[in-house]
Amino acid sequence: MLRSLKKNVRRVLEKLGILTPYDPPNYRGLIFADLKRRWPHLHGKKVLEIGPKDGKDSARLASLDPESLTMIDIPSDYTLNVTSSTMTVREKLPRWFQDLPCQNKSYREGNILYLPPEELLHLGQFDLIWCTGVLYHNPEPLRFLKRLFLLLNSGGRLILETSLTRHPRLKSHNCVEILWPKSELCLRVGADDQRLIPSLLVPEAEQSLSIQSNVSHLPSRKAVLSWMEMCGFNNIEEISIPIPDQARMALTAIKGDFDGFSYSNRGPSPSPYTIGQSL
Ligand SMILES: C[S@@+](CC[C@H](N)C(=O)[O-])C[C@H]1O[C@@H](n2cnc3c(N)ncnc32)[C@H](O)[C@@H]1O
């Protein structure tokens, strides 16, 4: 109630020109500030950004003067603009690309989760992977994270930010909410999966998340941390972001030498149930 009142007052003040419109909250700026505290510049470092979309983080990363900046995003022909329910054809090279202050920059279209292994490896090895707002669009999140792990140099850093489940009964567990329109347990309702459909189970109306048709899984916070460990990341540290109700999380982690866990309570060692290295 109070929140929606504040929102409306803000909108009026923005219209009157008293406040500047902004994307509240600017958590990407805060994640970048955290990176800058750890690595004030990126000299000599190869950086991969996944899903740059608007290029705002690309510009931030370029400002730290990396040795190279590689960006990869889903091919434009497959990008569905869920807010307008129309297919948007994005330019092959986004308009902001040429303005990036980086000598050695490249932009590729492709799905990092499903690129053939040889094409994935052709991207190179990186010292930093920046991946915000991407994981929950991907139907195989553990495999996605393992691919990022394999693309990092030893000692390389991942910055990951993701949306989390808002489901009041799921959020405190180590689990994943699968958003599948035909499932009864899904927060989305209705046949039209092109529309933004508010969740029915979110406790307060003003907290309601508009579940987008391109969101496939919403993990709990614990699930994300588990996946990170399962892949073999260490030094996993959460980055504090001002998102109400823990609806998103950000973290940074380092690729160590550890290869990840296998599953076995008996039987052969090493277990056949490993989290594999295959791409
Ligand atoms: C919600 S936007 C996030 C944009 C920006 N990084 C941010 O934090 O706001 C998700 C972006 O990731 C891209 N994306 C999602 N899955 C991807 C994948 N598997 N490979 C490459 N890009 C992906 C989408 O096309 C889109 O541009």
pLDDT on residue 192: 41
Ligand 1 centroid – CA 111 distance (Å): 9
Tokens of 50: 């996944």
Query: Does residue 71 form part of some domain?
Result: yes
Query: Does residue 279 form part of some domain?
Result: no
Query: Does residue 13 form part of some domain?
Result: no
Residue of the CA atom closest to atom 9 of ligand 1: 133
Query: Does residue 1 form part of some domain?
Result: no
pLDDT on residue 93: 82
Residue of the CA atom closest to atom 13 of ligand 1: 51
Alpha carbon distances (Å) from 244 to 24, 55, 206, 257:
11, 25, 11, 35
Query: Does residue 268 form part of some domain?
Result: no
Question: What is the per-residue pLDDT across 157-213, written as a single tens digit (0 to 9) for each?
Answer: 999 999 998 777 788 999 998 876 545 444 443 344 444 444 444 434 333 344 455
Tokens of 59: 């510009």
Residue of the CA atom closest to atom 12 of ligand 1: 51
pLDDT on residue 22: 47
pLDDT on residue 189: 39
Ligand 1 centroid – CA 49 distance (Å): 9
Query: Does residue 15 form part of some domain?
Result: no
Ligand 1 centroid – CA 264 distance (Å): 35
pLDDT on residue 218: 87
Burial 79-93 (b: 16+ CB within 10 A, else e): beebeeeeeeebeee
Query: Does residue 137 form part of some domain?
Result: yes
Ligand 1 is surrounded, with C-beta below 6 A, by 28, 50-53, 57, 72-74, 79, 111-113, 132-134, 137-138
Q: Which domain holds residue 198?
A: 26-259
pLDDT on residue 166: 76
Query: Does residue 201 form part of some domain?
Result: yes
Atom number in ligand 1 closest to CA 28? 8
Q: What does residue 45 show for φ and ψ, rounded to 5 degrees?
A: -105, 140
Alpha carbon distances (Å) from 234 to 130, 136, 154, 186, 259:
16, 21, 11, 32, 11
Spans of the chain below 70 pLDDT = 1-4, 6-7, 10, 14-15, 17-25, 76-92, 180-213, 259, 265, 267-268, 270
Residue of the CA atom closest to atom 11 of ligand 1: 51
Of 49, 54, 72, 74, the residue with max ligand 1 atoms within 8 A of its CB, to mutate for a pocket test, comes to 74
- Give the Cα separation of 112 and 279 in Å (integer): 11
Ligand 1 centroid – CA 135 distance (Å): 8
- Total domains in the chain come to 1
Please report, for the domain that includes residue 164, its CATH number: 3.40.50.150
Q: What does residue 218 show for φ and ψ, rounded to 5 degrees?
A: -120, 105
Q: What does residue 37 show for φ and ψ, rounded to 5 degrees?
A: -65, -35
